[in-house]
Amino acid sequence: MVGAYMVTKQIISQYYDLLKEQTEVEEKIENLEIRIPKLEERIAEIEAGATVKDRVYGGEGGIQGFNIEGVPAPEYEKKRTDLLYMKLLLEERRAKLKYLRVQIAETINEVEEFILSIDDSHIRRIVNLRVVQKLTWNDIAARMGGGNTEDSVRKAFMRFFEKI
Domain range annotation of the chain:
2-117
CA-to-CA distance for 161 and 155, rounded, in angstroms?
A: 10
CA-to-CA distance for 113 and 134, rounded, in angstroms?
A: 17
Instruction: Give the type of residue at 121.
Output: S
User: For 2-117, which CATH class?
Assistant: mainly alpha
pLDDT of residue 1: 39
Which residue from 33, 23, 21, 38 is spatially nearest to 90, judged by alpha carbons?
A: 33
Question: Across the 164 residues of the chain, what is the mean pLDDT of every consecutive 10-residue run?
Answer: 55 87 97 97 90 80 80 90 98 98 91 89 95 94 95 95 80
